Amino acid sequence: MNLKELDDQYALGVYARRPIAFSYGQNARAFDEEGNDYIDFASGIGVNSIGYNNPRLTAAIAEQASKILHISNLYLNRNQAELAQTIARLSGMDTRTFFANSGAEANECAIKIARKYGEKSGRYEIITLQNSFHGRTIATLKATAQDKFHKHFGPFPDGFIYADDLDHAKKLIGERTIGVMVEIVQGEGGVVALDKDRLQRLARFLRERGLLLIADEIQCGVYRCGEFLASQIYDLKPDIFTLAKGLGGGAAIGAAVTTLKDTLTYGDHASTFGGNFLSTKAALTTLEVLEELRSSGALTQTIDYFDDQCRAIALRFPDLFTEVAGLGLMKAIAAKDGRKRDAIIDAAHENRLLVLRAGENRVRLLPPLTIAKEEIDEGFARFERACRET
């Protein structure tokens, strides 16, 4: 039985997998079991923030694995405490952090913080934006304002209201509203960066009324957009923000971070695996690498160069593309329609370039933040060949 047959027979069929099996990687190159190299403009959907086989990360994981992987949250964990301290320092805010295993779990915790905060005033509703994506659990799926994700899984918990845009969100605020939850750059919804002025006005409006701004930075955070938080680019200090994806450099970890430091107390929330020794060590090391990359100016140079290449290819194929969207190394190139987009993505994979879908018609690009210039050049050369074949 070959690998595809094995997968088809025993794995739950919730993924439309491509028939490619990877065995190892190096920075922005992934190699399949036959030894073919692929340029990775997807990073495991924004997870492999410092690429494959980063020597500092692999050494840190190996060292931690030789000591202790897990002992539960019933005991002190130095890695976890130091990671929470690092997140507070990098965010520039006075925060406490709850560690989970994924972005959806981090958002679940954020929702619980908001609801407990609003309990005395009877406020519990959270407003989210159309085309948002906040997770696959029942609550975070309901928070996701895209009808296509809601089929089959109701009834859902109440307490989520959908706004068409930021201005509409302000109009929807009522006596039961506790806050607004936003992706500063919407990922699944099309790599759409929210308008800075409108978001700042909404944040002021919420603060004046004692309501909460919740920033879902699962995809756009951890230097993906150029700063530790996309919120920092927007000059915002959210009451709660969530991280995951690139935080562990490939290790599974999520974080709900809040300035409401005493809202959740003993017994309010927990996770068996969340914040274990392995994931927090991986995250500490990943943040060390990324902070150095940002401080040296190398990350800004990579962002500028990658952006130039995105815009160049969009201009080179005006019959295929209409615009470039996104922020930092969270980019999308909009095709003229969904059919063309899908054909481009298929051709890219045939040319051994890994890219992603987003929205109705966009090719999403999330390369490792450590991607080298020669890897960018080779990736766009393969992208161009794919475009010419489409």
Q: Which of 62-66, 74-78, 120-124, 149-153 has the lowest mean pLDDT?
A: 149-153
pLDDT tens, position by position, 4-21: 999 999 999 999 999 999
CATH class of the structural domain 297-366+381-390: alpha beta
- As a dihedral over the C-alpha atoms of residue 267, residue 270, residue 272, residue 276, rounded to 10 degrees, the angle is -120
Of 296, 248, 295, 301, nearest to 276 (Cα)? Answer: 248
Closest CA to 220 of 250, 256, 183: 183
So what's the pLDDT on residue 103?
Answer: 98
Q: What's the whole-number mean pLDDT along residues 154-180?
A: 96
Specify the pLDDT at position 1.
86
Residues 311-336 have pLDDT tens digits of 999 999 999 999 999 999 999 999 99
Residues in the chain: 390
CATH of domain 58-62+71-295: 3.40.640.10
CB 370 within 8 A of CB 28: yes
Instruction: Say what percent of the chain tops pLDDT 90.
Output: 99
Alpha helices in the chain (DSSP H): 3-10, 43-46, 55-65, 78-91, 103-117, 138-143, 166-172, 196-208, 230-233, 277-296, 298-316, 338-350, 373-389
Q: Is the Cα torsion angle 195, 142, 358, 251 positive or negative in sign?
A: positive
Q: What SS3 state is found at 204?
A: helix
Give the model confidence (pLDDT) of 236-290 as tens digits.
Answer: 999 999 999 999 999 999 999 999 999 999 999 999 999 999 999 999 999 999 9
DSSP-derived pairing of the beta strands 185-186 and 362-365 = unpaired
Write down the pLDDT at residue 298: 98
Q: What does the alpha-carbon distance between residue 95 and residue 93 come to, in Å, rounded to a whole number?
A: 6
Which pLDDT does position 309 carry in this prediction?
Answer: 98
186 pLDDT tier (thresholds 50, 70, 90): very high
Fold matches, 58-62+71-295 and 297-366+381-390: no
Domain boundaries, the chain: 58-62+71-295, 297-366+381-390
DSSP H or E run through 333? strand 330-335
Task: Return the pLDDT at 109.
Answer: 98
Global pTM reads 0.96
Per-residue pLDDT at 3: 95
* Beta carbons within 10 angstroms of residue 56's beta carbon: 14
The number of beta carbons lying within 10 Å of the beta carbon of residue 75 is: 6
Inter-residue contact 269 to 98 (CB < 8 Å): yes
**Residue 274 neighbours by CB under 8 Å, 6+ apart:** 73, 98, 99, 100, 101, 105, 253, 254
Residue 216: pLDDT over 90: yes
Pairing of strands 125-129, 160-163: parallel
Instruction: Name the average pLDDT for the chain.
Output: 97
What pLDDT, on a 0 to 100 scale, did the predictor assign at position 382?
98
Measured between alpha carbons, how far is 52 from 202 in angstroms, rounded to an integer?
A: 39
Residues 230-240: what's their mean pLDDT?
98
